Amino acid sequence: MEDQWRIAAHNPLWHDMFRETAEKLREALGDIALRIDHIGSTSISGLDAKPIIDIQISVSRLGELVGYKSRLEQLGFVYREDNPDLSKRYFREAPGNCRTHIHVRQSGSFSEQMNLLFRDYLRQHPADCLRYGQEKHRLMEQYKHERMKYVEGKGPIVWDILHKAHLWSQDIGWQPGETDK
């Protein structure tokens, strides 16, 4: 299995990896999943990223874990009860499988919308996409042995881009497009 804790050049196969997993998720979850979206850096063409496929599943009620937990576990995803982010339920791939993070969020919530807006903005703004990629490379070099410092280090640029994305969303009347799957 390849080293996941690195920044890799964009790989067009990431989209195919998402699609393959999303098809299985759609089949297992049916109407429970209101949306299944490819998010994170691997979802943005041309952006270097850690080779981890991030998938956001939007559900009508986040608290109804019983409705989707066993279905995701049957697909081989492991529920992470220790996730400190209470705005989502978090699942990871089983050991030995392709690194995949599943973020289950409530439809219409700030965290769901923020991830879609961030992705859509970067897809439309190559200069900010490049700037974000360069900052990730810089931070990975600086904190390659300190994962939390790398994550925390991205905060300022993420918030700067989100501010720009917010203004852009107002200018164009942004709304999430159709679900990816």
Task: Give the whole-number percent of the chain exceeding pLDDT 70.
Answer: 98
Q: Tell me the CATH number for domain 13-172.
A: 3.30.460.10
φ, ψ at 44 (rounded to 5°) = -115, 110
The verdict on pTM exceeding 0.85 is yes
Delimit the domains of the chain by residue range. 13-172
For residues 105, 22, 4, 39, the Cα torsion angle rounded to the nearest 10 degrees is -50
- The β-bridge relationship of strands 89-93 and 77-79 is antiparallel
Quick check: 57 and 25 in contact, CB under 8 A? yes
Q: Name the residue with tokens 């200018």.
A: 171
Q: Look up residue 21 and give its two tokens.
A: 């997993």
Q: What is the pLDDT of residues 48-92, one digit of tens each?
A: 999 999 999 999 999 999 999 999 999 999 999 999 999 999 999
Span 8-27, pLDDT tens digits: 999 999 999 999 999 999 99
Distances (CA, A) of 174 to 85, 100, 141, 166: 26, 28, 35, 9
Q: Is residue 105 classed as helix, strand or coil in its secondary structure? A: strand
| Residue reference for tokens 């990629």 | 133
Answer whether residue 137 shows pLDDT above 90.
yes
